Structure 1
Amino acid sequence: MLEFVVCFTVVAILGGLLLQRLWHYRAEAERAAVQMVIANIRSALEIKVAQANLPDGSLDFTFLTEENPLNLLKVKPVNYAGEWYRPSGADIGAGNWCFDRADKTLLYLLNNVNSFEDSQTKLLKFKVKLTRLPHSPAKPSGAPETLGVAFEQVKD
Structure 2
Amino acid sequence: AYISGSFDSKHHDLYLFAEIYEQKLVDREACDRIKAKVDKFQGYVLKADSAEPKTITTYRRYGLNIFGAKKSRDSVNYGIKWLQGLNHIYIDRRRCPNTYRELINYEYERNKDGEFVSAYPDKNNHALDAIRYAFEADMPAQNKITPIRVNY
Relative to the length of structure 2, the TM-score reads 0.24
Relative to the length of structure 1, the TM-score reads 0.23
